Amino acid sequence: MPYFDAHLHLVPDDVILRAVAKNVRTFFVNATGPKDWGGVLAQSNRLLGVYPCLGVHPWFIDDITPLWENDLKKLLKENPIAMVGEIGLDGTRPDMEKQMDIFFRQLKIADEMGRAVHIHCVKAWPQMLEILGQFKGVKILMHRFSGDEVLVQKLRFFNAYFSVLNAHVLSVIPDNRVLVETDAPDGLKTPENIPDLVDQLRLQPDYLWQNLELFLDGR
Ligand SMILES: [Zn+2]
């Protein structure tokens, strides 16, 4: 069974190709803002298995361009396999009001265009749940998830998947909602480490792959 990396950012092509040689076949490559949308799309056009995720990350809300929403819609329309990411809220960073506004707008676009979203959430769960509550139809991937059981229960009302890179949260996530990621190049691992990571986490590659197919199905 092949493997996948459910969350990473732009890395050189040879990093992806080394992972492909280890049977990692699908990569959700997330942008952080308008400045890397073109690079992410170009990589997905060059390399099989790279799914582009376009969005504005909460750390980079000051990098938006005046027409960013129009540009995002246009690029999503032109690229039917593209998803929306990395987007979200971060309570450790400034400007929560602006973060919420930009996050809301991106969820709205994802909802209208029927695309899944890749979410970053740190210390902003009340605001996150409030905004998600307005977009119950959107499929979401909570990236680098590290919440507890209570939070997972709340997120069960949404069409939520959870991608993890360490073991401590696995016991609270439903088996059919688990995905794995490296968050390269920010994480400690790169996508070629995925088979070892899956091994360490004692996950079964075949059901992980089924979860990935469910996530991609009917996006
Ligand atoms: Zn990330």
Cα 118 to ligand 1 centre (Å): 9
Residue 32 Cα, ligand 1 centroid: separation in angstroms? 8
- 111 and 135 Cβ atoms separated by less than 8 Å: yes
Residue 123 Cα, ligand 1 centroid: separation in angstroms? 16
The candidate with the shortest Cα–Cα distance to 81, out of 37, 55, 38, 116, is 116
Mean per-residue pLDDT, 147-168: 91
CATH number of 3-184+191-198: 3.20.20.140
Looking only at the bridges linking them, the beta strands covering 3-8 and 139-142 are: unpaired
- Cα–ligand 1 centroid distance for 44 (angstroms): 17
- When the pLDDT of each residue in the chain is averaged and rounded to a whole number, the result is 95
Under a CB-based contact definition with an 8 Å cutoff, are residues 4 and 23 in contact? no
Could you give the CA distance from residue 57 to residue 216 in angstroms, rounded to a whole number?
22
Ion ligand 1 nearby residues (CB, 5 A):
86, 183
Domain range list for the chain: 3-184+191-198
Report the separation in Å between the CA atom of 52 and the middle of ligand 1, taken as the mean of its atom positions. 13
Q: What is the DSSP letter of 116?
A: -
6-41 pLDDT per residue, tens: 999 999 999 999 999 999 999 999 999 999 999 999
* SS3 state at 191: helix
pLDDT in tens, 174-217: 999 999 999 999 888 999 999 999 999 999 999 999 999 999 99
0.85 exceeded by pTM: yes
- Distance from Cα 84 to the centre of ligand 1, integer Å: 12
Pairing of strands 83-90, 50-54: parallel
Ligand 1 geometric centre to CA of 210 (Å): 23
d(CA 86, ligand 1 centre) in Å = 6
Backbone angles phi, psi at 160, to 5 degrees: -110, 135
